[in-house]
Amino acid sequence: MENRATRLFLVRHGEVTNHKGEFRYNGHIDVDLSDLGLSQMKLVAGRLATESINGIYSSDLVRTMRGASAIADKHGISPVADARLKEVAAGRWEGLTFNEVHERFPDESHVRFEDLVNYRIKEGGESLRDVAARVIPALNEIVSRHRGENAVIVAHGGVNRVILCQALNLPLENFFRLEQDYGCLNIIDFYDNTALVRLVNGIL
């Protein structure tokens, strides 16, 4: 048992109701899954139905909790909500599309993408360094709690990218080099001193 990896099935929630074909900074806004998004999560739940799952964790937003519940229903486990797994807070950009941000705050949008790691969007936004400071301790606790077992985290595109950067030993500047589509599945095996990323952005 001591040499067995701790396997993490890392899932991004499905499509949300306000997506409508264009990226939107939902951040901490509590939007629900669309019908397609729920179908995507049911596909993930089906893929994981035959796995031995010992714990299911989610951010405390409805779009991730609904996905975690779909997976949990197959295993008789109650999902655990953890606010540390919330999406990157987008401050006054929350609810806006890329184009709307550029139109309203052209200087801010330019500066943010020049310094992804440290820049905080005004009125409560987080930098990637801020997000890593809350997400990575949560990840480490989950991996430690399920040593040698299998666990699921249902989170967000930003959170998943932070976890993948950590597992791959990539600086956070590489954040946007890792795609995370709605309803995707990542698989990471954690050992005592390293991690092995077996699947990134798997679409079912």
Q: What are the catalytic residues?
A: 13, 87
Residue 40 and residue 22: Cα distance in Å, rounded? 18
Residue of 194, 187, 85, 61 whose CA lies nearest to 141: 85
Buried b (16+ CB within 10 A) or exposed e, 31-53: bebbeebbebbbbbbebbeeeeb
Q: What does the block give as tokens for 57? A: 């964790």
Residue 155 and residue 12: Cα distance in Å, rounded? 5
φ, ψ for residue 105, nearest 5 deg: -135, 60
User: Counting Cβ atoms within 10 Å, is residue 21 exposed (0-12), middle (13-18) or buried (19+)?
Assistant: exposed
The 3-state DSSP class for residue 165 equals helix
Q: Which residues contact 27 (CB under 8 A, 6 or more apart)?
A: 87, 88, 89, 90, 91, 93, 94, 125
Residue 189 and residue 175: Cα distance in Å, rounded? 20
